[in-house]
Structure 1
Amino acid sequence: MSENYQVLITGANRGLGLEFTKQYAKDGWRVLACCRVPKQASALQELANTYSNIQIFTLDVADFAQVDALAQQLKDEKIDVLINNAGIYPDSSTHQINTDDWLDAFTVNSISPYKIATAFTPHIAKSSLKKIATLTSKMGSIDDNTSGGSYIYRSSKAAANMVMKSLATDLQPQGISVVILHPGWVQTDMGGSNALIDTKTSVAGMRRVIEYLKLSNTGCFIAYDGQSINW
């Protein structure tokens, strides 16, 4: 890929976000890496010291004023690929669920991907590739839910899926394509050490899905290995 291409990644300080940043930077993309507290993001800072095509920005995805401010700061930039990666997984293993945690999860997992996508729509629309990718989870699939539990995470991801499906339709006239991604069960802080795949495998697979994303398959729910997922 050419250095002319540019990707914006949220939650770029660790896990999948950090791996996305590393892989795109290594391939010569200009990477706009966003995280809440850059000064504490030592791994991301180290990566930026290695690759001069990484630029780090402060962004709390739940702070919508901050989202608007960053969109304004980058108003002259073209963003070929926007990756909504940031997310949270509050504990909801029992029936005693904290409603504040539930609202926080909807803010971060469901509303913020919409806010970021719409705030940066002008940047994406004037780019060459015009793509939005949002990481959700197979746990947001109603069809796949055979084990119950995880009420907060499941519902927030199901909502994110619907938001992105609607955006895929609404943004199509502007030539923008949207994909909803399941990264697999990945060895991250969220996925745990018993997960089936590492971040390198997951991100490499998701990048292939993004690469082959077109207007003809916009709005699809696809796993890192290219398999379609039922809603």
Structure 2
Amino acid sequence: MPGTILITGSNRGIGLEMCRQFAADGWRVLACCRDLPNATELRSLRERYPNLRLFQLDVTDYGHMATLAKALEGEAIDILFNNAGYYGPKGVSFGQVDRDEWRRVLESNTIAPYMMAETFADNVAASEHRVIAVVSSKVGSIADNSSGGGYIYRSSKTAVNQVVKSLSVDLRERGISVIALHPGWVKTAMGGPNALISAEESVAGLKKVLLETNPENSGRFVNYDGTEIPW
């Protein structure tokens, strides 16, 4: 049975495609993005799917997040999909780290997903599916790091993986499953044109993983194809 999914960072790439695929399947989609007036593709998608609702949300504005929570008070959210994020400067190597950018990336990629979970836990607990998912990245895997560098983005994803693990423990009694997801190297504005897979392929895999997530596999770091990634 279709349920309700809340998706952050819905205006492009993986978030936009996630909205499209879930809306096409008859789910109620609560699509959030930072700059709704300029989210032309998302607004066009809304014209095709009346089950898609649009909300403006900067995930690092916690007052704004609380306002959205009040607007959605009492609404069950089956899947909370934390997709919004910020890559920061690319090619960051030793001796070239911008501390202000590091803080900005950590705010978006690590703190904001935690705050979303804290803010909307009651909505998720009231649903049938009860899943919180965070888009992480394989570059956050400590076991997979053999090249070094990438201090800013890598550390933000490693840190959010730990957040996911703790949430999976702390929310278990409420029946909420929490997972970290690697979407693959996707042809998006962030992934670039040389990436290996399309947003459609990535989201099709992620959607399957989301729908199969349950308390037994909560607290895992999962690739879009369903395989587990070492922390």
State which drifts further: 67-76 or 77-86: 67-76
Residues 6 and 80, structure 2, Cα contact 8 Å, conserved in 1? yes
Q: Partner letter of residue 216 of structure 2? A: S
Partner of 1:190: 190
For residues 70 and 122 of structure 1, what CA distance do their matches in structure 2 show?
Answer: 13
Matches within 5 A, 1:80-99: 80-91=78-89, 92-94=91-93, 95-99=95-99
Displacement after TM superposition at 1:93 (Å): 2.0
For residues 72 and 199 of structure 1, what CA distance do their matches in structure 2 show?
Answer: 32
For residues 229 and 74 of structure 2, what CA distance do their matches in structure 1 show?
Answer: 36
Q: Partner letter of residue 155 of structure 1? A: S
CA RMSD in angstroms comes to 0.8
Q: How many residues align?
A: 229
Percent identity of the aligned residues? 50
> Could you tell me which of 19, 24, 27 is aligned with 1:26?
24
Q: Partner letter of residue 189 of structure 2? A: D
The answer as to 2:72 corresponding to 1:74 is yes
Matches within 5 A, 1:21-170: 21-91=19-89, 92-94=91-93, 95-170=95-170
For residues 159 and 128 of structure 2, what CA distance do their matches in structure 1 show?
Answer: 29
Give ranges in structure 2 of 5+ residues lacking alignment: none
Q: Which runs of 4+ in 1 moved over 4 A?
A: none
For residues 70 and 106 of structure 2, what CA distance do their matches in structure 1 show?
Answer: 25
State which drifts further: 150-159 or 86-95: 86-95
SS of the aligned residue for 1:169 comes to helix
Q: Partner letter of residue 160 of structure 2? A: A
State which drifts further: 25-34 or 66-75: 66-75
> TM-score scaled to structure 2, two decimals?
0.98
Q: Partner letter of residue 201 of structure 1? A: E
Q: Partner letter of residue 50 of structure 1? A: R
For residues 19 and 147 of structure 2, what CA distance do their matches in structure 1 show?
Answer: 33
Q: Partner letter of residue 158 of structure 1? A: T
Displacement after TM superposition at 1:211 (Å): 1.0
Q: Partner letter of residue 71 of structure 2? A: Q
Q: Partner letter of residue 52 of structure 2? A: I
Give ranges in structure 1 of 5+ residues lacking alignment: none
Q: Partner letter of residue 66 of structure 2? A: D
